[in-house]
Amino acid sequence: MELVDQHIKEIMEGCKERARAVGLRFPDETLEYIVTNRDLLELSPKLMIPTLYDYWVHDVDVLKEKGKYELYPVNPYETVINTRPAISFYNDNNPDWLNVMIFYHVLAHIDFFQNNLFFRHTWDYDFTGQALSDKRLIARLRSEHGRWLDYVIEFVRGIDNLVGYYHDLSHLNHTSEATWSKRVNFYFDVFIQTINKLKIHEYVKEIDRYNDCMKKYEELGEELFFSEVDLKYPEFKEVFRKSLEKKPERKADLIELLIECSQFLNKDENEWMKSVLQVVRNTSLFFQPQIRTKIMNEGWASYWHETLFMQDDRIEGHEVEFARVHAGVTSMPRVGMNPYALGMHLFYYIEELVEKGRYSLEFRRISDARRREKFDAGTGQGRDFIFKIRENYCDFMFINTFLEQDFITRKKLFVAGRRLNKDKKVYEYYIKSRKIEDYRKTVLDSLYHPPNIEIDLDKNKNNTLYLNHHFEERPLVKEFITNTMIGIEYLWGGPVQLETSEFVSASPSTGQSYYSVGLPSAQEAGKEPTGEWQRVLYTMENRKLSRKTI
Amino acid sequence: MDPRLLRYFNTIKERGLEPDREKRILVELEDGRVHERPCESPDVGKARPNRFLRASDNPYEYSDPFVLQAMQVHRGSYTSGLQSIDELLERDNQREKDGFPRKIRVGRLIKPGKGGKGKIVVVPTTVEEKFIHDMSFDPSDDEPVAGGSGEGEEGEIVGEQPVHEEGGPGSGPGEGGGEPHEMESSAYDLGKILSEQFELPNIKDKGKKRFLSRYTYEMTDKNPGVGQFLDKKATLRKIVETNISLGNLPDPGDIDPSRFLISPKDKIYRILSREKAYESQAMVFFLRDYSGSMEGKPTQLVVSQHVLIYSWLLYEYARQVESRFILHDTEATEVPDFYTYYNSKVAGGTRVSSAFRLVNEIVEKENLARDYNIYIFHGTDGDDWDTGGKEALPELKKILAYSNRVGITIAEHTYGASTSTEVERYIKDSGLLERHPDLLRLDVIREDAAETRLIEGIKKLIS
């Protein structure tokens, strides 16, 4: 692994100038490395972060059949990693024109990493440096604690998809709340909303009254406002005082909770484990935004490598070669979904619509198809708009908001179904639907979505950790429950309970084991689903799992 | 006939050739065969008519290095990935003792072998359990759906895929490591048996310093102006240098840092660098003559001997030994893995020097002599167009200058038994064996030798 030579670096610098000129924003400095296959072999289990901590599972063949990206929630091999400065990896025999294309792609990725708000928490530090010190820490702990260190890593990794990513993010993007006093905040946010349950017009009236008081009496305004409140709700003072005594409720994620409250981890001899938990949690948090912006990120990068490459004056004569590679990257497969293509075409489509002013009431009111087709308000704001999208959206919002029937029709997209043809012994793929609702659902269903599991502190009795899996019409993978819960029990130092939903079918189960590879034939016959959802409670105590229906 | 070969033939003919050697050379010269490898499975090579290729409908399976740069991430074999499978199983045993369920599944993969015979290969796998949604579950609609694009009415069939396409159990996508993987696995098992039963002498016991070819990533490289973190000491030194050369530091006894001029290039940063982890190690070159005359027994012998050595190294030095494979006829070529090395068929002429030269080139180009103990094992039938080793000997001498051991195995044809072979003769005549008894070993075996003889041969080569 070595830095690229001056010739290639010069090409990169040229790309940076041109990319800046169209509005992409990224730091001046980047590092480009040439990697060999051998490097890739070593880097890929470490998610291309060369300094990631060592862990034996990285060395073993890992079963990744079912729900693989749910288990490994990262784009495993990115060409560019989100570090300061950003690091990207290249083949050493790329022709110059191809490097130009890849550099634009990489620069757009860097722009995305460093401007999309879902990456906010990664902006202030360099992950490779952080990972290196973590790696040294892990290595030191391994020399001190041997295999127990690996157990702890294993157990924390078992819950590292449940990190409170959005919660952390919301703190970072929070505007300051210091302008109002605690009393005002409590009154408006909690007291009259959740305790007294005022109707909306009454609530608005209170706000008006508050604003009036502040305007008229300035400093004394608040006191006056509350003197009237005291008359109206004599209990307010007491409720407010009590609320101050209560510790501010903070929604900790499972790993944080373990660090703070686990009796086992807080024993002196186990203190070291907490830093392992922290390392795994930070690593997971670092990768969270990447998997939540795959379609956008690749779409954005493809949009720009196409746009910028075509404008580049240095590559004349390589248009055809570019076209071949680019088409390979951004073609829609007959069956399947290519995030590069979907994202890129959607960005172009949105840009065009905004450019023509079609996200407007005026356009939506038109029902005449011909007039709709001709509608063009010439706003000239298309590009600004997609820059805003790259800043504020993630995949879910992007697909949910902008994927629409016109786009599906224009790009000839469809939902493909698969059915068994018994006579020919083949699976047939057929066009199942060309409706936006179905297509959108298919795309959204394919997005990464970890289960929503909350810690229910109210049911947390006798040092029993109670986890509540909110029902989202999918069960958890059953085979994984035992080992995951053994891990949590170990870290918690007490019994662990998990409430979840399971589908109990009325007919004998055809449940297929995770480890059996191959396709079940019995399930394909298109049987009517029979059965019902049940809430069940798993309890892990002394490494024994029991299950009961609630 | 290759004109280059013909020219070469004429040169050596001018140097003088015995009639029966000329005959043998001519046989090889006129040999029309090419080096090919047997089909990996009976299916390969047969065209699959109208096979429907389905792209992934999971957006996360696409990634830049593959899509943009067509990079290949080879899956490492587990033997090179881990110190040893025993360590892995040991770890699993320990888990049970510690009260946790075992985690490593020793999977059996059935690989379609040559001639339809399946082979069972043992592969350890594991999975990281988490709470995740069961994506395959859908009670309302048991028909999987995916995205798609293109022409067609709703209801129209766009493609077909055979139900039983995946082959034997366990060979799903991602598991299709193919034969090379299997080669390593069985070689590993063989090596284990060898080490246990025959007590081959250890290279390690020679007390050589071994360098491991593993890498770690550190931040030791310095880079002015930009990088991951500031090297404060180096930066300050650089600033002082700059200021001295600017004449901005008149009195070294009284330095006022606030007056320093700092240029952006004065900032010295640390950046990522790949460092060798110096634990141990060696590089082993396997050289095989795959010329036309090697057909039959000699190739079998040479190859089996190299399998034995390779297996043993793989077992004994799991990831501490790196192997390189070179095949030669009149030209030498490096092949990427043992599988190719093992299976390439014989054809063409013989020029031992080409292989030696390639080794020299590789060693020189990659500067291997500095970091590695270099071992070279060469297998041939002793036939060489190069009379008297005029080209081979100088190359061999070069090799002896840096290598730790060169082991040459000559598998003699029975028909040439009366006189010693060309290679044997010129090596013995050169006196290199006497001058470097520790570095160069020669083992001559008859082509009808048994396996025990091969093991003895290895002992002779590496003792």
- Segment B15-45, tens digit of pLDDT: 777 777 777 777 777 766 666 654 443 333 3
Q: Identify the band that residue A63 occupies on the pLDDT scale cut at 50, 70 and 90.
A: low
pLDDT value, residue A453: 92
User: Quick one: tokens of B192?
Assistant: 């284990």
Nearest CB to A147: which of B61, B94, B228? B94
Chain A segment 183-212 residues within 8 A of B by beta carbon are none
pLDDT value, residue A10: 94
Please tell me the distance from the alpha carbon of residue A206 to that of residue A199, in angstroms, as a whole number.
Answer: 11
For residues B420-433, give the mean pLDDT. Answer: 82
Query: Minimal Cα–Cα distance from A525 to chain B, Å?
Result: 8
Is B293 found in the same domain as B238?
A: no
Q: In this model, does residue A107 exceed pLDDT 90?
A: yes
CB half-sphere exposure, B375, CA atoms < 13 A: 22
Measured between beta carbons, the chain B residues lying within 8 angstroms of A480 are 127, 129-132
pLDDT value, residue B415: 67
Kindly state the percentage of chain A with pLDDT values over 70.
89
Indicate the range of B63-67, B272-276, B286-290 predicted with least confidence: B272-276
pLDDT value, residue B255: 79
Interchain contact A91–B (C-beta under 8 A) = yes
Nearest CB to B272: which of A50, A433, A524? A50
Please tell me the distance from the alpha carbon of residue A411 to that of residue A223, in angstroms, as a whole number.
Answer: 62
Enter the DSSP assignment of B208: -
Q: Identify the band that residue A191 occupies on the pLDDT scale cut at 50, 70 and 90.
A: confident
pLDDT value, residue A127: 92
Q: In this model, does residue A207 exceed pLDDT 50?
A: yes
Please tell me the distance from the alpha carbon of residue A120 to that of residue A173, in angstroms, as a whole number.
Answer: 8
Contact B161 A69 (CB under 8 A): no
Is B453 found in the same domain as B309?
A: yes
CB A118 within 8 A of CB A289: yes
Angle, to 10 degrees, between the axis of helix B297-316 and the axis of helix B179-198? 80
For residues B112-135, give the mean pLDDT. Answer: 63
Q: In this model, does residue A399 exceed pLDDT 90?
A: yes
Please tell me the distance from the alpha carbon of residue B16 to that of residue A490, in angstroms, as a whole number.
Answer: 81
The chain A residue lying nearest B157, using CA atoms, is A430
Q: Report the residue of B51, B133, B140 to disrupt the A interface, i.e. the one with the largest count of A CBs within 10 Å.
A: B133
Is B369 found in the same domain as B287?
A: yes
A159 vs B311, residue with greater confidence: A159
Please tell me the distance from the alpha carbon of residue A529 to that of residue B143, in angstroms, as a whole number.
Answer: 12
pLDDT value, residue B189: 57
Closest CA to A431 of B145, B137, B54, B140: B145
Is B117 found in the same domain as B88?
A: yes
Contact B157 A430 (CB under 8 A): yes
A224 vs A141, residue with greater confidence: A141
User: Quick one: tokens of A457?
Assistant: 């502190």
For residues A92-119, give the mean pLDDT. Answer: 92
Please tell me the distance from the alpha carbon of residue B300 to that of residue A474, in angstroms, as a whole number.
Answer: 57
Question: Is residue A191 assigned to a domain?
Answer: yes
User: Quick one: tokens of B398?
Assistant: 């070069």
| pLDDT, tens only, B312-349 | 776 666 556 677 888 888 888 888 777 777 777 777 78
Q: What are phi and psi of A498, to 5 degrees?
A: -130, 120
Indicate the range of A135-144, A308-317, B77-86, B225-234 predicted with least confidence: B77-86
CB A112 within 8 A of CB A300: yes
Measured between beta carbons, the chain A residues lying within 8 angstroms of B91 are 56, 147
pLDDT value, residue B37: 55
pLDDT value, residue A156: 95
Is B397 found in the same domain as B264?
A: no
Alpha helices in B146-231, H assignment, sequence order: 179-198
B227 vs A26, residue with greater confidence: A26
pLDDT value, residue B73: 54
Chain A segment 210-229 residues within 8 A of B by beta carbon are none
CB B125 within 8 A of CB A60: yes
Closest CA to B73 of A47, A12, A352: A47
pLDDT value, residue B26: 75
Query: Minimal Cα–Cα distance from A426 to chain B, Å?
Result: 4
Range of the domain at B252: 222-276
pLDDT value, residue B396: 86
Enter the DSSP assignment of B446: E
b (16+ CB within 10 A) / e for A43-79: bbbbbbbbbbbebbbebbbbbbbbbbbbbbbbbbbbb
Is B390 found in the same domain as B287?
A: yes
Residue A203: CB atoms within 10 Å: 15
Question: Is residue A541 assigned to a domain?
Answer: yes
CB A520 within 8 A of CB B144: no
Range of the domain at A199: 182-245
For residues B344-368, give the mean pLDDT. Answer: 83
> How many residues comprise chain B?
463
CB A100 within 8 A of CB A315: yes
The chain A residue lying nearest B133, using CA atoms, is A476
The chain A residue lying nearest B269, using CA atoms, is A85
Indicate the range of A118-127, B125-134, B201-210, B280-289 predicted with least confidence: B201-210
Residue ending a domain, choose from B107, B126, B145: B126
Measured between beta carbons, the chain B residues lying within 8 angstroms of A147 are 91, 94, 98
Please tell me the distance from the alpha carbon of residue B331 to that of residue B171, in angstroms, as a whole number.
Answer: 38
B194 vs B406, residue with greater confidence: B406
The position carrying tokens 């807080």 is A266
Q: Identify the band that residue A247 occupies on the pLDDT scale cut at 50, 70 and 90.
A: low
The position carrying tokens 């002429």 is B349
Measured between beta carbons, the chain A residues lying within 8 angstroms of B271 are 3, 31
Question: Is residue B216 assigned to a domain?
Answer: no
Closest CA to A420 of A512, A516, A521, A510: A521
The position carrying tokens 């070993």 is B441
Q: Identify the band that residue B72 occupies on the pLDDT scale cut at 50, 70 and 90.
A: low
CB B161 within 8 A of CB A435: no
Question: Is residue A74 assigned to a domain?
Answer: no
Nearest CB to A37: which of B61, B74, B78? B74
B451 vs A95, residue with greater confidence: A95
Q: Identify the band that residue A517 occupies on the pLDDT scale cut at 50, 70 and 90.
A: very low
Please tell me the distance from the alpha carbon of residue A477 to that of residue A458, in angstroms, as a whole number.
Answer: 26
Q: Identify the band that residue A425 occupies on the pLDDT scale cut at 50, 70 and 90.
A: confident
Residue ending a domain, choose from A194, A228, A245: A245
Please tell me the distance from the alpha carbon of residue A21 to that of residue A111, in angstroms, as a whole number.
Answer: 13
- Parallel/antiparallel/unpaired status of strands B440-446 and B405-412: parallel
Is B308 found in the same domain as B359?
A: yes
Please tell me the distance from the alpha carbon of residue A4 to that of residue A13, in angstroms, as a whole number.
Answer: 12
3-state secondary structure (DSSP) of residue A271: helix
For residues B59-83, give the mean pLDDT. Answer: 60
Measured between beta carbons, the chain A residues lying within 8 angstroms of B139 are 503, 505, 529, 531
Measured between beta carbons, the chain B residues lying within 8 angstroms of A302 are none
User: Quick one: tokens of A376?
Assistant: 């063009």
Q: Over the Cα atoms of chain B, what is R_g? A: 29
Please tell me the distance from the alpha carbon of residue A453 to that of residue A496, in angstroms, as a whole number.
Answer: 13
| pLDDT, tens only, A4-19 | 999 999 999 999 999 9
The position carrying tokens 């160069």 is B440
Interchain contact A340–B (C-beta under 8 A) = yes
Indicate the range of A478-487, A521-530, B426-435 predicted with least confidence: A521-530
Residue ending a domain, choose from A223, A245, A267: A245
Question: Is residue A475 assigned to a domain?
Answer: yes
Please tell me the distance from the alpha carbon of residue A327 to that of residue B412, in angstroms, as a whole number.
Answer: 57
* Residues in a beta bridge with B284: B323, B375
Closest CA to B324 of B372, B384, B276: B372
Indicate the range of A82-96, A169-183, B296-310 predicted with least confidence: A169-183
Question: Is residue A504 assigned to a domain?
Answer: yes
Question: Is residue A149 assigned to a domain?
Answer: no
Q: Report the residue of B130, B164, B230 to disrupt the A interface, i.e. the one with the largest count of A CBs within 10 Å.
A: B130
Please tell me the distance from the alpha carbon of residue A77 to that of residue A49, in angstroms, as a whole number.
Answer: 10
Contact B82 A332 (CB under 8 A): no
CB half-sphere exposure, A402, CA atoms < 13 A: 27
Closest CA to B123 of A63, A150, A54, A47: A63
User: Quick one: tokens of A55?
Assistant: 């862990």
Chain A segment 343-372 residues within 8 A of B by beta carbon are none
CB A106 within 8 A of CB A24: no
Residue ending a domain, choose from B239, B255, B276: B276
Question: Is residue B251 assigned to a domain?
Answer: yes
Is B338 found in the same domain as B377?
A: yes
Measured between beta carbons, the chain B residues lying within 8 angstroms of A498 are 131
Q: In this model, does residue B140 exceed pLDDT 60?
A: no
Residue ending a domain, choose from B259, B276, B293: B276
Question: Is residue A417 assigned to a domain?
Answer: no
CB B432 within 8 A of CB B442: no
Contact B148 A333 (CB under 8 A): yes
Query: Minimal Cα–Cα distance from B191 to chain A, Å?
Result: 20
Element spanning A549, H or E: strand A544-549
The position carrying tokens 């460093």 is A114
A35 vs B316, residue with greater confidence: A35
Is B352 found in the same domain as B339?
A: yes
Establish, for the pair of chains A and B, how many residue pairs have beta carbons separated by less than 8 Å: 375
A487 vs A55, residue with greater confidence: A487
| pLDDT, tens only, A248-275 | 566 678 999 999 889 999 999 999 999 9
Is B332 found in the same domain as B247?
A: no
Specify the number of domains making up chain B: 3
Is B388 found in the same domain as B299?
A: yes
Chain A segment 94-113 residues within 8 A of B by beta carbon are 94, 98, 101-102, 105, 109
Specify the number of domains making up chain A: 2
pLDDT value, residue B91: 80
Q: In this model, does residue A78 exceed pLDDT 70?
A: no
Q: Identify the band that residue A237 occupies on the pLDDT scale cut at 50, 70 and 90.
A: confident
b (16+ CB within 10 A) / e for A428-441: bbbbbbbebebbbe
Is B365 found in the same domain as B230?
A: no
Measured between beta carbons, the chain B residues lying within 8 angstroms of A337 are 55-59, 146-147
Contact B217 A50 (CB under 8 A): yes
Q: In this model, does residue B407 exceed pLDDT 60?
A: yes
Question: C-alpha angle with apex A360: A354 to A362, nearest 5 degrees?
Answer: 130
pLDDT value, residue A524: 41
For residues A458-468, give the mean pLDDT. Answer: 86
Q: Report the residue of A40, A60, A485, A530 to disrupt the B interface, i.e. the one with the largest count of B CBs within 10 Å.
A: A60
On average, the pLDDT of chain B sits at 71
A482 vs A174, residue with greater confidence: A482
Residue ending a domain, choose from A202, A219, A245: A245
Interchain contact A295–B (C-beta under 8 A) = yes
CB B457 within 8 A of CB B445: yes
Please tell me the distance from the alpha carbon of residue A99 to that of residue A249, in angstroms, as a whole number.
Answer: 51
Contact B68 A101 (CB under 8 A): yes
Measured between beta carbons, the chain B residues lying within 8 angstroms of A294 are 59-60
Q: In this model, does residue A398 exceed pLDDT 70?
A: yes
Question: Is residue A359 assigned to a domain?
Answer: no
Closest CA to A325 of A305, A345, A339: A305
Contact B60 A69 (CB under 8 A): yes
pLDDT value, residue A435: 93
Contact B154 A337 (CB under 8 A): no
Contact B160 A486 (CB under 8 A): no
Sheet of B229-230: strands edge to edge?
Answer: B215-224, B268-276, B229-230
Q: Residue A43 contacts by C-beta under 8 Å, 6 or more apart in sequence?
A: A35, A49, A50, A77, A89
Q: In this model, does residue B400 exceed pLDDT 60?
A: yes
Closest CA to B240 of B263, B213, B274: B263
Please tell me the distance from the alpha carbon of residue A266 to that of residue A278, in angstroms, as a whole number.
Answer: 14
pLDDT value, residue A66: 43
The 3-state secondary structure of A163-188, one letter per residue: CCHHHHHHHHCCCCCCCCCHHHHHHH
Question: Is residue B270 assigned to a domain?
Answer: yes
Q: In this model, does residue A282 exceed pLDDT 90?
A: yes
Please tell me the distance from the alpha carbon of residue A345 to that of residue A277, in angstroms, as a whole number.
Answer: 41
* Residues in a beta bridge with B133: A476
Question: Is residue B70 assigned to a domain?
Answer: yes
Q: In this model, does residue B136 exceed pLDDT 80?
A: no
Residue A8: CB atoms within 10 Å: 18
pLDDT value, residue B22: 76
CB A511 within 8 A of CB A502: no
Contact B65 A89 (CB under 8 A): yes
Phi-psi region of B178 (alpha: psi -120 to 50; beta: other; left: phi over 0): left
Residue B32: CB atoms within 10 Å: 8
Q: In this model, does residue A419 exceed pLDDT 80?
A: yes
Question: Is residue B316 assigned to a domain?
Answer: yes
DSSP B9-72: HHHHHHH---HHHHHHHHHHHT---------SSTTTTS--TTPPP---S-GGG--HHHHHH---
CB B243 within 8 A of CB B260: yes
- Parallel/antiparallel/unpaired status of strands A426-433 and B157-162: antiparallel
For residues A480-498, give the mean pLDDT. Answer: 93
What is the torsion angle, in degrees rounded to the nearest 10, for the CA atoms of residue A284, residue A289, residue A290 and residue A296? 170
